[in-house]
Amino acid sequence: MLQSILTDIRREFSFGNVVTRLVIINVSVFVAINLIRLMFYLGNAGEIPPLYHGIVHFFSVSSDIMHNLTHPWVFVTSIFLHESFWHLLWNMLFLYWFGRIVGDLLGDRKVFPIYLLGGMVGCFVFWLSAQLLPYMNGQTGYALGASAGVMAIVVTSGMIAPDYIMRLILLGDVRLKYVVLTLVLLDFFAVAGDSNTGGHFAHLGGVVMGWLFVNQLRSGNDWSEGVNNILDKIVQFFKGEKIPVTTAKEAKLVVKKSYKESEPKVYSDVEIQERVDMILEKIKKEGYGSLTHEEREFLNNASSR
């Protein structure tokens, strides 16, 4: 049975979309860290030793600047780390629900950059808030979890498809913009609460990142390109393959036409961006369902190039 489960997971990771892969990575890290916790618990007379907490802190972002400077990887590793099942569950549900919308409308290759940038900004905002506000009471705090990255995706989905309909239990059909607004306000008001103040500041950092990402995208600046280029180079390096170089002037988008037309039309970068802006504006005003088949195909091609 276990072998069958592992085979299914490998298949989903290999052929699934980015949202599926992010969920698999987060769940795998959760299982690994809790197995370590269980081993320490059983091997230490039912008590969790300081060594376990040291391992968790090794991968978590801290309110202490020296910890972050000497552990720079925490700005990435912390956004995949969960100890609590409920923390993991809600983050993965939100990631799945809203990540699919972003992937469908902007393209699969934009999901991970938004998640990563949102999580990293959330880490920075957590540290900054701990320096400016006294809620830590002089103690060193640590933050972990995918919440900031997920909130960046949530806000992105609400900005690109505000009138998208979500069916909620007990409430029925609700427009996406109201769901996103409610989630943002809950985090905003929770800052004044007595628990997880730093975490809610991190969530708001992800909110800001999502908002900035979409605004920059509408201005013609695709921040996901830089992240994807770095990731592609890392993958190519470990595969030992040469990386093809394409200049901005050479980059073109080819959109297939109907069977009646003999040759596909080739768009320049400027034409692509202008068309994408028009389609995104249409989604904002009328919702994703208002797009024609050709517009959806064009948007998907432009997002994945």
Record the tokens describing residue 164, joined without a space. Answer: 């998208």
Per the listing, tokens 């992010």 go with 22
Q: Which amino acid is at 51?
A: L
**181-185, 200-204, 284-288: which has the minimum mean pLDDT?**
284-288
Query: pLDDT of 221-272, one tens digit each?
Result: 899 998 889 888 888 888 776 655 544 444 444 444 444 444 555 666 667 7
Rg, Å, the chain Cα set: 21
**55-64, 92-101, 230-239, 274-283: which has the minimum mean pLDDT?**
274-283
Buried b (16+ CB within 10 A) or exposed e, 112-130: bbbbbbbbbbbbbbbbebb
Residues 6 or more apart from 289 whose CB is under 8 A from it?
none
Distances (CA, A) of 24 to 64, 137, 272: 30, 36, 34
- In this prediction, residue 179 has a pLDDT band, given cuts at 50, 70 and 90, of very high
Where is pLDDT greater, at 302 or 114?
A: 114
**101-105, 144-148, 183-187, 292-296: which has the minimum mean pLDDT?**
292-296
Residues 272-288, mean pLDDT to the nearest whole number: 72
Where is pLDDT greater, at 129 or 235?
A: 129
- In this prediction, residue 139 has a pLDDT band, given cuts at 50, 70 and 90, of confident
Query: pLDDT of 21-40, one tens digit each?
Result: 999 999 999 999 999 999 99
Q: Does the pLDDT of residue 88 top 50, yes or no? A: yes
Tell me if 282 sits within 8 A of 296, measured CB to CB: no
Q: Which range, 86-100, 122-136, 225-239, 242-256, has the best average confidence (pLDDT)?
A: 86-100
Strand 265-267 to 253-255 pairing: antiparallel
Record the tokens describing residue 229, joined without a space. Answer: 């280029």
Record the tokens describing residue 205, joined without a space. Answer: 């950092």
Provide the CA 235 distance to its chain's centre, in angstroms: 19
Q: Does the pLDDT of residue 13 top 90, yes or no? A: no
Q: What integer pLDDT is reported at residue 243 of this predicted model?
A: 52
- In this prediction, residue 289 has a pLDDT band, given cuts at 50, 70 and 90, of low
Q: Does the pLDDT of residue 18 top 60, yes or no? A: yes
Tell me if 207 sits within 8 A of 152, measured CB to CB: yes
**43-47, 92-96, 253-257: which has the minimum mean pLDDT?**
253-257
The kind and range of the H/E element at 166 are strand 165-168
CA pair distance 193, 209, nearest whole angstrom: 23
CA pair distance 280, 102, nearest whole angstrom: 12
Q: Under CATH, which number does the domain 22-226 receive?
A: 1.20.1540.10
Residues 114-135, mean pLDDT to the nearest whole number: 94
Q: Does the pLDDT of residue 68 top 90, yes or no? A: yes
Average pLDDT over the chain reads 86
CA pair distance 130, 62, nearest whole angstrom: 9
- Burial (0-12, 13-18, 19+ Cβ within 10 Å), 206: buried
All CATH 1.20.1540.10 domain ranges in the chain, comma separated:
22-226
